[in-house]
Amino acid sequence: MTRAAEHERAHADGRTHEHDGEHAYDVVVLGAGPVGENVVDRVRAAGLSAAVVETELVGGECSYWACMPSKSLLRPAIARSEARRVPGLRAHAYGPLDAHEVLAHRDSVVGDWKDDGQVDWVRSTGAQLYRGQGRLHGPRRVTVEGPEGDRHVLTARHAVAVCTGSRAVLPDLPGLAGARPWTSREATSSARVPERLIVVGGGVVGAEMATAWQALGSRVTLLVRGDGLLPRMEPFAGEHVADALAERGADIRTGVEVSAVVRDGSTGPVTVVLADGEVVEGDEVLFATGRRPRTEDIGLETVGLEPGSWLRVDDSLRVEGHDWLYAVGDVNHRALLTHQGKYQARIAGAAIAARAGGAGGEDGAAWSPYRATADHAAVPQVVFTDPEVAAVGLSLAAAEAAGHRVRAVDLDLTSVAGAGLYVQGYRGHARMVVDLDREVVLGVTFVGPGIGELLHSATVAVAGEVPIARLWHAVPSYPTLSEAWLRLLEAYRDGAGTP
């Protein structure tokens, strides 16, 4: 759709909309990723008018440079790994993945990095889409600087929602800028399989991308500052993933610090220099070393907030001290996960609509439709490594740090009949953290093949605060992996576990 056609459509929708004009909406949303889209969806469903401003592609990081492409790269890796351990099939699965086919499928999953479909969806909600850089310009006011120099001023009757997400952080290292490092964007969008890939960082992005590119044929070196992978999860999770990567040939070095990066010329190899003087040579280097909020250029200073900062919010996702300003998704630093941002978006949208209507939204009860209570108690995450990792709620360490009186029970998943039927030589582990005062589950972590879809059972148990006594009546089907639940409950009943 041309811009002229856009304007025509805007007029047809009954909104005034001119170059350099000022336009009023009930709600203005900065950022049209999944989070912004969900805020739009909810406030539009409540009958509020909405505008959404997007600098890049409608659909956001998740659609083009994160969840979607990464999972399209990882699923073949995981499926092949499992096929290799299934009797009758394994002989077929020893060949290499067809990398060309995997990359072509990835390209189609991201719509070749075009956002037409997502734009259509936004428009179908009746929201107005503005392309360009949106910036706050004092309370309830947003300016948009369009790609062709056009400028719009939007005013928000009820709320502005900042949903601009986060971007990868590159550390300040000698030589890095000239070495064309990969971030998560290049790692998910590369059209070529590097022969040797150096991954710096052992968090989720590092572990997933090491898994994907290893399966596509790269020799992987993983450089980790800490003492293991997936440091925010139960320790056994990262251990299983590291063991599997290493068995497939990855060189994993923990406790190392990168001090410089060197790349000569445009096609030559890249050299990573470690603090102890060792050097590692590769063809590409991925820095998966954290995220920062995309809030540096959105006019936060005009409303007394610090540009580039994470935005602190209450459980209705409203920025502290600004009754009209919401920060939803990565920018609030509560949980940098697409699904959790979408959850927050549903909550924020409901709260905005209720407050606009003069009712509700102030209902402060935990687990109400206007409170993102799960952000504290029940954030789920599936890491698509091989083996998969899935966790929800609090780890043992986090539960203890939060002052809960807890017991953790552990389970070797090989004791589950369904495990050996799923793949031969199954290896996996589970932990359940129980609140001893309330006899409810605070957190569950699984690591092992095929456990990704099992996580939601734990998410329902944790978010639902289903008592342990009742979980005994939630019978796992035999012989599935879900029998892990029975073994965990038995271990808890029989007094196993720590402390």
CB of 100 to its own copies, least distance (A): 8
| Binders in 3-42 for its own copies, by CB under 8 A | 34
* By the rule CB under 8 A, 124 interacts with its own copies: no
CB 326 within 8 A of CB 352: yes
* By the rule CB under 8 A, 98 interacts with its own copies: yes
Would you state the structure tokens that stand for residue 102, as one six-digit string?
A: 């995997």
Q: CB-wise, 445 or 457, nearer to its own copies?
A: 457
* By the rule CB under 8 A, 92 interacts with its own copies: yes
Distance CA 96, CA 435 (A): 46
Residue range at the interface with its own copies (CB under 8 A); choices 63-71, 115-123, 151-159, 288-296: 63-71
| Binders in 341-370 for its own copies, by CB under 8 A | 342-343, 346, 367, 369
Q: Per-residue x/- marks for its own copies, 407-446, CB under 8 A?
A: ----------xx-xxx-x----------------------
Length, in residues, of the chain: 499
Which of 80, 137, 248, 427: binder of its own copies (CB under 8 A)? 80
Please state the separation of Cα 338 from the chain's center in Å.
4
Terminal-residue alpha carbon distance, the chain: 62
* By the rule CB under 8 A, 87 interacts with its own copies: yes
Which of 471, 487, 488, 491: binder of its own copies (CB under 8 A)? 471
Nearest to 159 by CA among 143, 139, 144, 145: 139
Which of 68, 127, 327, 411: binder of its own copies (CB under 8 A)? 68
* By the rule CB under 8 A, 146 interacts with its own copies: no
| Binders in 215-254 for its own copies, by CB under 8 A | 216
* By the rule CB under 8 A, 125 interacts with its own copies: no
Nearest to 178 by CA among 288, 260, 114: 260
DSSP string, 160-226: EEE---EEE-----TTTGGG--B-HHHHHH-SS--SEEEEE--SHHHHHHHHHHHHHT-EEEEEESS
CB of 44 to its own copies, least distance (A): 13
CB of 448 to its own copies, least distance (A): 11
CB of 53 to its own copies, least distance (A): 23
Nearest to 348 by CA among 165, 163, 167: 163
How many residues touch its own copies (CB under 8 A)?
84
* By the rule CB under 8 A, 480 interacts with its own copies: yes
Angstrom CA distances, 398 to 129, 395, 404, 408, 459, stand at: 41, 5, 9, 12, 17
Nearest to 214 by CA among 252, 248, 241, 253: 248
* By the rule CB under 8 A, 495 interacts with its own copies: no
* By the rule CB under 8 A, 194 interacts with its own copies: no
Would you state the structure tokens that stand for residue 8, as one six-digit string?
A: 């025509």
* By the rule CB under 8 A, 450 interacts with its own copies: yes
Which of 35, 48, 52, 67: binder of its own copies (CB under 8 A)? 67
* By the rule CB under 8 A, 117 interacts with its own copies: no
Q: Give strand pairing partners of 51.
A: 28, 128
Distance CA 194, CA 272 (A): 16
* By the rule CB under 8 A, 300 interacts with its own copies: no
> What is the torsional sign of CA 66, 69, 72, 77?
negative
Q: CB-wise, 153 or 466, nearer to its own copies?
A: 466
